[in-house]
Amino acid sequence: MTPAISVENVSFAYDDQPVLKDISLTVDEGDFLGLIGPNGSGKTTLLKLMLGLKQPDSGRIELYGTRADKFKQGTRLAYVSQQSSEADAMMPVTVREVVRMGRYAHAGLMPLSSEDSRLVDDALETVGISDLADRKISRLSGGQKQRVYIARALASEADLLALDEPTVGVDADSVEAFYDLLAELNDDGITIILIEHDIGVVTQHANMMACLDCELYEHCETSAFLESGAVERVFSSAHGLQAGQLVGGD
Amino acid sequence: MAVETPSLGRQRALLGVGVPLTLVGFTAFILWVFPPLYGLFWDSTCSTVDTWIVCSNFLQRGFTAGALIGVTAPVVGAYLVNRQMALIGEALAHTAFGGVAIGLFIGAAVPTLDYPLVFALVAAAIAALGMQYIAVKTDGYADVPIAIMLTGGFALGISIISYGVVFSATVESYLFGDILFVPFENVQLMVALTLLVGLTVGLTHKQLLFITFDREAARLARINVWLYDTLLIVLTALVVVAAMQILGAILVAGMLVIPVAAAMQLTASFNRGMGLSVVVGQIAIFGGIFLSYIWNIATGAMIILVAIAVYLWALLFVWNATVGTLVIVMPVVVWVYLLSPLIGGFVMLGLIAIYTLASTRQ
C-alpha cells in the first residue's frame, strides 16, 4: 500500500535561514501523527510542504503516490489552521456557508446538489453544531469555530485531515471534547496530522509521534517515543540555545 | 473519489459549449431584443406615471445605466471589501481615466476611433493585470502599488489632456460623471457588462467566496487561486469603467465599497449580505438621482452621499434597532399626520401597539 504521505530527504529555507534539514518520514493511511517541536522549529512549514502548499528546496514529497505540488485531488485534503484568521473575525458569513465550502471543490462550477446539502447537514450534526448553523462565525467561541472547520473537513469527505495548533485559545473542556472528536474520526479511517504544543494531550491520542527542531529528532510509535527522551533533548537544546544567546549578548 | 475526474471533465465540456452559446445569446439580446424592450418599458412608464423625470430621454438612459451599476458594483465589491481590497477600484478608475484621455486624444485626431470608453476598458484591464502581477510578486495587495497605480494613471491622463486638444467639459464628465451624458450605445455596453458580470459571478461565486474567506484552504482544495484572483480584478476593471460615466473616475470606488459596508453590518450571511448590498446600491442610485434633481446638485456626488447616509443608518440600526427604525418611520408618520391628522393619529397608535407587543414578547 502506498503511504498517505512520504517525505524523503527534504530541506527548506526562507532566504538563507534554513528551516528544515534533510527530513524523512512517512505517514500511513489511518495514522494519527502528532508533530511537536519548539516554536520556530519548522512544524507548520513541514505541514505545508506535505500538503503541497509550498515546495521543498530539495528532496521529494509524495501525497498518495503523486508529487505533493502536482497532486490534483483537492477533495481528499482538509486543513484546519491556527485559528483567528482576519476573515473569520470580520466577514459576515454563517456557519452553514463555511461548512458548504467543503463541498465547493466537488461541485466545480455547478451549483451544490441536494446530496451536497445532505452531507453538509450530516457534518454539522456529527460535530454537534446544527443549532449554530445560521450564526455568524465571528460570534462563536474559539472551540465552536474549530468545530465548524472540522465540519467543513468532514463535509469535503477528506481522507487526510491536517491541523495546526487547533486548540490555541480554546477552553479546557472544549479541548477535551475536540480531541475525542478527532479520535472518533481517526477510528473511522481518516488520516490525521496534528501540530500541538501540549505534548500530554497529543501523546494520549496519536499513534505516531514526530519531534522536530530543524532536524527530525525522532519519528516512531508513541509508546517508544515517550521512552526515547526526544522531547527532553529537543526542548532542552532549544532552551540551552536561548540561554547561550543571552550570555553571548552580555 | 476517483469518480470526481470524469464529472469535472463533463463540466468542462458543458462549459466549453455552453459559455460561447450564452455569449452569442447575450450579443443577440443586446443588439436586437434590448432596444425594443427598453423603448417599450420607458414608453409605458412614461404614459402611466407621466412626469418629466421618467419621460426625459436623458434621464431614462441615466436611470437604466444607474440601475445596472447599482447591481454590478456592489456584487463585485462584496468580494473586494472582504479581501481588504477596497481601494483597488479607485486605482483602476484612475488608470481608466488615463485611458479615456488617450482615447479622447486619438479620437480627436482619428474620428473613426472616437470611443474613449473602449480605451478606458483596455487601460483598466492592463492595469488590473499589472496589479495582479505585482500582487503575486510581492505577496499581496500592498497599498504602495495601489498608490503608484492610482496617481500614475491620473498623472498620465492629466498630462495628455494638458496637451490641449479636448474640451474641458468632456474631461469633466469623465472625472465627475454626468448622467445626462450617457449615449444609448453606452447603455447597451453596460447591459453587456452586467450580463457578463452576472454570468461570471453566477458560475464562480463559490470559488470567489471560498478564496475570499479562506485562501489557504482554497489552495489546499486545489482551486486555482491565481486564476480566480485575475478574474475578479478584471471584472472589477469592467465594472469601474461602466460606472465611471455616471459617478466619474474619482467617485467610482464609493459604489463598490459603501453599499457593501452598509449591508455587511446588517446580516450574518455573506449571500444575504450580497443581495442586500444590491438593494442599498439601488437606493443610493435612485435616491441620489432624485435628490440631485430636487436640490440641483451633481448626481455622482449625491449618489455617494445617499450611500453614506444608508451606511450611517445601518451603523445606528446595529447599535440600537428601535432608534434605527424610528429614524425611518417617524418622518413618514409626521408627513402622514401633516396631510391628515386622523390617519396619522391611527398610524401612530398602531405603531405604539406593535412596539409594545414586540417588546413584551421579548
Q: What is the pLDDT of residue A247?
A: 40
Residue at A149 is within a domain: no
- A67 in reach of chain B (CB within 8 A): no
* pLDDT at residue A77 is higher than 70: yes
Q: Give the chain A residue nearest B209 (alpha carbons).
A: A101
User: How large is the ipTM?
Assistant: 0.84
Average model confidence (pLDDT) for chain A?
A: 80
Q: What is the pLDDT of residue A233?
A: 66
Q: Give the chain A residue nearest B15 (alpha carbons).
A: A109
Q: Which of B206, B214, B264 sits opposite A85 (nearest CB)?
A: B214
- A78 in reach of chain B (CB within 8 A): yes
Q: B88: part of which helix (H) or strand (E)?
A: helix B88-109
Q: What is the pLDDT of residue A81?
A: 78
Residue at A133 is within a domain: no
Sign for the CA dihedral angle at B41, B46, B52, B53 comes to: negative
| Chain A: closest CA distance from residue B204 (Å) | 6
Q: How many Å apart are CA B354 and CA B271, to the nearest integer?
A: 30
- A189 in reach of chain B (CB within 8 A): no
Alpha carbon B358 to its chain's center: 37
Q: How many CB pairs under 8 A join A and B?
A: 97
Is B209's CB within 8 Å of A101's CB? yes
CATH assignment at residue A40: 3.40.50.300
pTM: 0.86
Domain ranges of chain B: 56-319, 321-362
Cα dist. B127→A71, B131, B145 in Å? 33, 6, 11
Cα dist. B309→B165, B316, B334 in Å? 39, 11, 20
Q: Which domain holds residue A26?
A: 5-83+159-249
pLDDT tens-digit profile of B219-269?
888 888 889 998 998 899 989 988 888 888 888 999 999 999 999 999 989
- A168 in reach of chain B (CB within 8 A): no
Contacts of A211 (CB under 8 A, 6+ apart): A36, A37, A217, A218, A219, A225, A230, A231, A234
Whether the Cβ atoms of residue A210 and residue A192 lie closer than 8 Å to each other: no
Q: What is the pLDDT of residue B140?
A: 63
Q: Which of B203, B212, B273 sits opposite A87 (nearest CB)?
A: B212
Is A53's CB within 8 Å of B206's CB? no
Mean pLDDT to the nearest integer, A6-17: 84
pLDDT tens-digit profile of B99-155?
988 888 888 888 887 788 888 988 998 988 888 888 777 766 667 888 888 899 999
Question: How many domains does the structure of chain A reveal?
Answer: 1
Instruction: Give me the CATH topology for the region B56-319.
Output: ABC transporter involved in vitamin B12 uptake, BtuC (1.10.3470)
Q: Give the chain B residue nearest A108 (alpha carbons).
A: B8
Contacts of A115 (CB under 8 A, 6+ apart): none
C-alpha cell at A244: 547561550
| Chain A: closest CA distance from residue B158 (Å) | 38
Residue at A49 is within a domain: yes
Q: Which of B1, B82, B273 sits opposite A75 (nearest CB)?
A: B1
